[in-house]
Amino acid sequence: MSTSKATADVRLHVLDTGLIQCADYALYSPAAPPGTYAEMSVRSYLVAHPDGLLLWDTGIADSIAARPDGERLNETHVFRVPATLRAQLKALGHAPADIGLLGLSHLHIDHVGNLDLFPDATALMQRAEYDAAYGPDAEALTYIPETYAALDQAKIQKIAGSHDVFGDGTVVTVPLPGHTPGHQGLLVALPETGNVLLAGDLAYSVADYTAGAVRTLNFDLDASRTSIDAAKTLEATGVKVWLHHDIDAQRKIETAPAYYG
Confidence at residue 6, expressed as pLDDT on a 0 to 100 scale: 59
Confidence at residue 259, expressed as pLDDT on a 0 to 100 scale: 97
Confidence at residue 8, expressed as pLDDT on a 0 to 100 scale: 64
pTM of this prediction? 0.95
Confidence at residue 1, expressed as pLDDT on a 0 to 100 scale: 44
Q: What is the CA radius of gyration of the chain?
A: 17
| Cβ partners under 8 Å of residue 44, min gap 6 | 15, 17, 55, 56, 57, 58, 59, 85
Confidence at residue 215, expressed as pLDDT on a 0 to 100 scale: 96
Confidence at residue 223, expressed as pLDDT on a 0 to 100 scale: 98
| Cβ partners under 8 Å of residue 121, min gap 6 | 55, 99, 100, 101, 102, 155
Low-confidence ranges of the chain (pLDDT < 70): 1-8
Confidence at residue 148, expressed as pLDDT on a 0 to 100 scale: 98
Per-residue pLDDT reduced to its tens digit, 211-241: 999 999 999 999 999 999 999 999 999 999 9
